[in-house]
């Protein structure tokens, strides 16, 4: 049996927590996919979902232009769980009524459960009140025929409902968020008790089936992969290598904008431990000349990105005929999430984007079903070292966008030394894995200082450390003063050309994580 034979389909109505629903289901070792609410009925049928979840969403089901899924999904004979907006939509489409509530319910609420079966199976009958998390301004007013109420809260007399003969369940609360203490039970009961799924989607089953898929697709062709030293490309390379061995060649372009030692460590691992073929191109001088005199952040990013494509293509051409490019695209990048606010790109991100078109290569994206934390588990399962797996994110354009103003050899030396000190101290104090990212930024100004008896007029380093879950939003890390003091002292004492360290205390938005 294929591991994708059983799957839960999540129809997305634009909730902030849709991805969380997917993660919570996958934590139960059941595969699931997110698709927009507009997905056609025929497409849904072709997926053969074992169960369907209707997500929450920011709109009201009674709006004229409310996002509606095809009501015929209720005739598919597939179990359906509606969450918040999804619950209201189910109820409205099956004959009930949803109206604006006089009191909005936002945050923690006490749920009183009437039946301890179905999604509430196994919950204590006497502990009548269960903490759940609500976020809604509308509520279900009229229960449609065939449904019965299974739970209530202070402000939602119809907080959970079920159909008496069909496998349809509606919950006003959000089982996917951590503050819903019975959330895991509710989701488990739905996927195992109602949909009859079995917990088969494990990392080792994923590796096995992906290896077969890659072999089937590639045949005897050659595959290339751009290795950056980051988690995604490393795991991609390790997985593809396990599938097709020497048919894979990795290309590592050293753009001279990397941190000290990091890429070398991962290259050493791949070459020595897993005998992967890696071509290592030192293009430092090329990139430095491309960046000569450039101060505009977007121009820097574009030059680094295009430069990468040029070098990569040159190396790949030397390999003869290659048909495939393996790339570490992750699930959050491929989900066609529903957004009701059009977003303009803030910065152009350059990794291997553009390569497949330029080189007319077909893509192999073995991680495109996975979330970041799943990629990490996969990496560990494939035997990659923990330091590589739990590495903080590092931008494709590297230190080039952490030097404000012109990128020169001398300024790269300064940022590298400061950066190593930040990393060393973060690791030593145990903070490295507690924060999302921590790094040094070299500012384009000089300030006056005094060293010994003499006046100095030297560079300023800004320290940036942020906490985040997905890099979409971030807050500055509340690092201990002692640690900040140590980092500052070491940078000023050990890095020639720096006489001042400042701390960045901006959140994202309105700032971004990187400075350029
Ligand atoms: P910003 O600065 O946009 O960064 O808040 C969000 C996250 O993305 C990383 N970043 C990049 N990663 N290529 C990448 O692979 C890039 O061009 C790039 N620019 C920013 C950044 O480090 C943070 O984790």
DSSP 331-345: HHHH-----SS----
CA 339 / ligand 1 centre spacing (Å): 21
Q: What is the pLDDT of residues 222-254, one digit of tens each?
A: 999 999 888 999 999 999 999 999 999 999 999
**Nearest-atom index, ligand 1, CA of 401:** 19
> Quick one: pLDDT at residue 12?
96
Tell me yes or no: is domain 203-389 CATH 3.40.50.1110.
Answer: no
> Quick one: pLDDT at residue 1?
59
> Quick one: pLDDT at residue 413?
96
Ligand 1 probe mutation, 234, 349, 401, 467, most atoms within 8 A of CB: 349
Catalytic residues, which ones? 84, 174, 176
Ligand 1 probe mutation, 346, 513, 515, 516, most atoms within 8 A of CB: 513
- Look at residue 345 and tell me whether its pLDDT is greater than 60: no
Say yes or no: CB of residue 347 within 6 Å of ligand 1.
Answer: yes
Q: Whose CA is nearest to atom 6 of ligand 1?
A: 471
Ligand 1 probe mutation, 395, 401, 404, most atoms within 8 A of CB: 395
168-171 vs 160-163, strand pairing mode = antiparallel
- Look at residue 48 and tell me whether its pLDDT is greater than 50: yes
Question: 178 to each of 57, 332, 405, 492, how far by Cα in Å?
Answer: 18, 20, 43, 43
Question: Minimum mean pLDDT among 17-31, 91-105, 118-132: which range?
Answer: 118-132
> Quick one: pLDDT at residue 128?
67
Mean pLDDT of 21-48: 96
The CA distance from 418 to 53, in Å, is 48
**pLDDT > 70 fraction of the chain, expressed in percent and rounded:** 96
Say yes or no: CB of residue 351 within 6 Å of ligand 1.
Answer: yes
> Quick one: pLDDT at residue 343?
44
The CA distance from 462 to 441, in Å, is 5
Question: 236 to each of 181, 194, 248, 385, how far by Cα in Å?
Answer: 36, 35, 11, 14
- The pTM of this model reads 0.84
> Quick one: pLDDT at residue 304?
95
Mean pLDDT of 91-114: 92
> Quick one: pLDDT at residue 342?
46
Question: 168: closest CA among 95, 113, 98?
Answer: 95
Q: What is the residue-averaged pLDDT of the chain?
A: 92
The CA distance from 313 to 304, in Å, is 14
Question: Minimum mean pLDDT among 46-50, 103-107, 116-120, 512-516: which range?
Answer: 103-107
Which residues lie below 8 Å from residue 324, measured CB to CB, with a gap of 6+?
Answer: 217, 218, 221, 222, 223, 224, 361, 362, 363, 364
The CA distance from 487 to 449, in Å, is 18
- Per-domain residue ranges for the chain? 8-194, 203-389, 408-503
CATH code reported for the domain at 408-503: 3.30.300.10
Q: Whose CA is nearest to atom 10 of ligand 1?
A: 395
Binned at pLDDT 50, 70 and 90, residue 466 comes out as very high
Q: What is the pLDDT of residues 280-327, one digit of tens each?
A: 999 999 999 999 999 999 999 999 999 999 999 999 999 999 999 999
Binned at pLDDT 50, 70 and 90, residue 127 comes out as low
Under 8 Å between Cβ of 50 and 195: yes
Q: What is the pLDDT of residues 203-218, one digit of tens each?
A: 999 999 999 999 999 9
Backbone angles phi, psi at 406, to 5 degrees: -70, 140
Question: 393: closest CA among 466, 454, 339?
Answer: 466
Q: What is the pLDDT of residues 359-403, one digit of tens each?
A: 788 999 999 989 888 999 999 999 999 988 999 999 989 999 999
The CA distance from 115 to 269, in Å, is 55
The CA distance from 92 to 90, in Å, is 6
- Please, where are the H alpha helices in 366-471? 372-381, 386-389, 409-428
CA 396 / ligand 1 centre spacing (Å): 8
The CA distance from 110 to 182, in Å, is 11
51-54 vs 8-12, strand pairing mode = parallel
Say yes or no: CB of residue 437 within 6 Å of ligand 1.
Answer: yes
Mean pLDDT of 26-42: 96
Half-sphere exposure of 175 (CA within 13 A, CB side): 30
Backbone angles phi, psi at 182, to 5 degrees: -100, 15
Half-sphere exposure of 409 (CA within 13 A, CB side): 4
CATH code reported for the domain at 8-194: 3.40.50.880
- The two domains 8-194 and 408-503 share their CATH topology (first three levels equal): no
H/E run at residue 450:
strand 437-451
Q: Whose CA is nearest to atom 3 of ligand 1?
A: 512
Q: What is the pLDDT of residues 137-188, one digit of tens each?
A: 999 999 999 999 999 998 899 999 999 999 999 999 999 998 999 999 999 9
Question: 511 to each of 170, 289, 472, 477, how far by Cα in Å?
Answer: 39, 30, 11, 14
């Amino acid at each position: 049996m294929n591991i994708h034979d059983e799957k839960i389909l999540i129809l997305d109505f634009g909730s902030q927590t849709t991805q969380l629903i997917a993660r919570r289901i996958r934590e139960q070792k059941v595969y699931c996919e997110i698709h927009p609410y507009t997905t056609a009925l025929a497409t849904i049928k072709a997926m053969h979902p074992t169960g369907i979840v209707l997500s929450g969403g920011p709109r009201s089901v009674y709006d004229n232009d409310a996002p509606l899924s095809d009501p015929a999904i209720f005739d598919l004979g597939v179990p359906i769980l509606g969450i918040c907006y999804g619950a209201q939509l189910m109820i409205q489409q099956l004959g009930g009524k949803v109206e604006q509530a006089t009191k909005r319910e936002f945050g923690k609420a006490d749920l009183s459960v009437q039946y301890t079966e179905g999604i509430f199976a196994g919950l204590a009958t006497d502990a009548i009140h269960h903490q759940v998390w609500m976020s809604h301004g509308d509520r279900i007013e009229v229960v449609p025929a065939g449904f019965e109420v299974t739970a209530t809260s202070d402000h939602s007399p119809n907080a959970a409902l079920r159909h008496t003969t069909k496998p349809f369940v509606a919950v006003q609360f959000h089982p996917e968020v951590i503050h819903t203490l019975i959330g895991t039970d509710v989701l488990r009961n739905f996927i195992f008790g109602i949909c009859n799924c079995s917990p088969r989607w494990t990392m080792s089953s994923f590796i096995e089936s992906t290896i077969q898929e890659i072999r089937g697709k590639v045949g005897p062709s050659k595959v290339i992969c751009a290795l950056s030293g980051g988690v995604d490309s490393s795991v991609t390379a390790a997985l593809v290598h396990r599938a097709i061995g020497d048919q894979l060649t990795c290309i590592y372009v050293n753009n001279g904008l990397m941190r000290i030692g990091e890429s070398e460590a991962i290259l050493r691992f791949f070459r020595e431990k897993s005998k992967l073929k890696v071509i290592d191109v030192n293009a430092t001088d090329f990139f430095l000349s491309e960046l000569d005199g450039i101060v505009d952040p977007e121009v820097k990013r574009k030059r680094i990105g295009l430069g990468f494509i040029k070098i990569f293509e040159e190396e790949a051409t030397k390999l003869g005929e290659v048909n495939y490019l393996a790339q570490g695209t992750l699930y959050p990048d491929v989900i066609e999430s529903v957004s009701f606010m059009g977003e303009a790109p803030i910065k152009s991100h350059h990794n291997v984007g553009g390569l497949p078109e330029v080189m007319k290569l077909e893509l192999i994206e073995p991680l495109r079903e996975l979330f970041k934390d799943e990629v990490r588990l996969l990496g560990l399962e494939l035997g990659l070292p923990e330091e590589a797996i739990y590495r903080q994110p590092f931008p494709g354009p590297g230190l080039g966008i952490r030097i404000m103003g012109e990128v020169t050899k001398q300024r790269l030396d300064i940022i590298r030394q400061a950066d190593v000190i930040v990393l060393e101290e973060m690791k030593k104090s145990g903070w490295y894995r507690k924060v999302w990212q921590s790094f040094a930024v070299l500012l384009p100004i000089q300030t006056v200082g005094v060293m010994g008896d003499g006046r100095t007029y030297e560079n300023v380093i800004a320290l940036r450390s942020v906490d985040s879950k997905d890099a979409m939003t971030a807050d500055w890390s509340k690092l201990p003063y002692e640690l900040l003091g140590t980092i500052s002292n070491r940078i000023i004492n050990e890095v020639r050309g720096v006489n001042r360290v400042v701390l960045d205390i901006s959140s994202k938005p309105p700032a971004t994580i990187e400075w350029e």
